[in-house]
Amino acid sequence: MSRESRKLKRQQRKQENRAMLAKKMKEEPGAFWTYIILRTIVILVLIRSIWIGRYDNAIVCVYVLVLYVLPKFVENRMNIEIPSVLEIIIFVFVFLAEVLGEIQAYFLKVSFWDTMLHTTAGFLLAAVGFSLVNLLNRNEKIKFQLSPAYLALVAFCFSMTMGVLWEFFEYGADRLLLLDMQKDTVLSQISTVDLDPTLSNTPVVVSGITDMLLELSDGSTYRVGLGGYLDIGLYDTMADLFVNFLGAVVFSIIAFFETKSAKRPLTTALALHKRKKKSEAAS
């Protein structure tokens, strides 16, 4: 391919991108302006992070910018349309989780922040799972039709599976990169069979714990001073999965009844659908 043809192709792609943005601004102004405003904020945070030498935050910003173009990539690759409401929720959710949650440390400053996001994620992932199967259900080439109960069950299972995979990711990041994505919990009571001297699998309960004393390999000691025993993320993981479960259950129940009804406000607003062919759109 010659240099001129490559240049021409780049110009065509730029024109296509401008045309898509213009179309988006006209047909879906809410999603368009949400994307523009949040993307601008992320770019400003990226510049500031580089300026002050917080390159870890800069990497998070780049990650967010990649996530922001992912919906359009998925639409083009799978030939589907992501509804405007779902797109806005995705943009805001990513911003709340990464920019406010990670960079601004809202996960530590606001006690319910992580719970709120995991509950919302469970709800949204169930919506995505429901939409993916519902696309097949409405495809005339597919020779099967799932009942409302099966659609709701698939939505629930998809959400829970993605939730578990995310917890695997957090565990891997903590083990390999020594992060603390699975936040610790301070406990005043533990129950463990490891303290059972008889080795009879009898749990020994230790109550009234007010502090921990760590003894390092060099012989030095370090008092934790957090007011109890430091759990290593189990409670956080189980709480995340539980609220993911609640979000998935709520959406699945709503989807079950809406699928049996003629009125489907929620599933219609959040459901993915196939792009119309040019001939259909023109008519």
Instruction: Give me the pLDDT at residue 175, please.
Output: 92
Among the ranges given (19-33, 84-98, 151-165), the one the predictor scored with the smallest mean pLDDT:
19-33
31: in domain = yes
Q: Is residue 281 part of a domain?
A: no
Residue 282 pLDDT:
46
Does 148 share its domain with 263? yes
What span, in angstroms and rounded, lies between the C-alpha atoms of 92 and 94?
A: 6
Give the span between the Cα atoms of 256 and 154, in whole angstroms: 11
Residues 99 and 116 in one domain: no
Examine the domain organization and report whether 95 and 201 are in the same domain.
no
Do 71 and 60 belong to one domain? yes
What confidence tier does 247 reach under pLDDT thresholds 50, 70, 90?
very high
Are 171 and 253 in the same domain? yes
CA distance readout (Å), 109 to 46, 112, 114, 182: 21, 9, 11, 16
Band the pLDDT of 10: cuts 50, 70, 90.
Answer: confident
Give pLDDT tens digits for 101-135.
999 999 999 999 999 999 999 999 999 999 888 88
Residues 122 and 262 placed together within one structural domain of the fold: yes
- Please indicate, yes or no, if residue 120 is contained in any of the structural domains: yes
| Residue 266 and residue 167 share a domain | yes
Total domains present in the chain: 3
* Residue 200 forms part of a structural domain: yes
Residues 6 or more apart in contact with residue 240 via CB below 8 angstroms: 114, 115, 118, 163, 166, 167
Out of 84, 106, 128, pick the residue that ends a domain. 106
Residues 122 and 256 reside in one and the same domain: yes
CA distance 276 to 271: 15
Distance from C-alpha of 188 to C-alpha of 203, rounded to nearest angstrom: 16
Chain-centroid distance of CA 282 in Å reads 36
Same domain (yes/no): 142, 268: yes
Given a contact cutoff of 8 angstroms between Cβ atoms, the answer to whether 130 and 271 are in contact is: yes
Domain membership of residue 267 as a residue range = 111-183+234-274
Neighbouring residues of 215: CB distance < 8 A, sequence distance ≥ 6: 221
Asked whether residue 20 carries a pLDDT value surpassing 70, the answer given is no
Residue 73 maps to a domain: yes
Question: Do the domain assignments include residue 61?
Answer: yes
pLDDT recorded at residue 283: 46
Cα 283 from Cα 279, distance rounded (Å): 6
One DSSP character per residue, 117-177 reads: HHHHHHHHHHHHHHHHHHHHHT-TT------HHHHHHHHHHHHHHHHHHHHHHHHHHHHHH
Task: Mark whether 126 and 255 lie in a shared domain.
Answer: yes
**Same domain assignment for residues 55 and 28:** yes
Which of 106, 135, 150 is the endpoint of a domain?
A: 106
**What tens digit of pLDDT does each residue of 44-103 get?**
999 999 999 999 899 999 999 999 999 888 888 888 888 889 999 999 999 999 999 999
For residue 142, tell me if it sits in a domain.
yes
Asked whether residue 282 is domain-assigned, the answer is no
What is the Cα–Cα distance from 230 to 89, expressed in whole angstroms? 35
Rounded to an integer, what distance in angstroms lies between the CA atom of residue 175 and that of residue 170?
9
- Reference 267, options 152, 109, 175, 177; nearest CA is 152
Query: Are 126 and 17 in the same domain?
Result: no
**How many angstroms separate the most distant Cα atoms in the chain?**
81
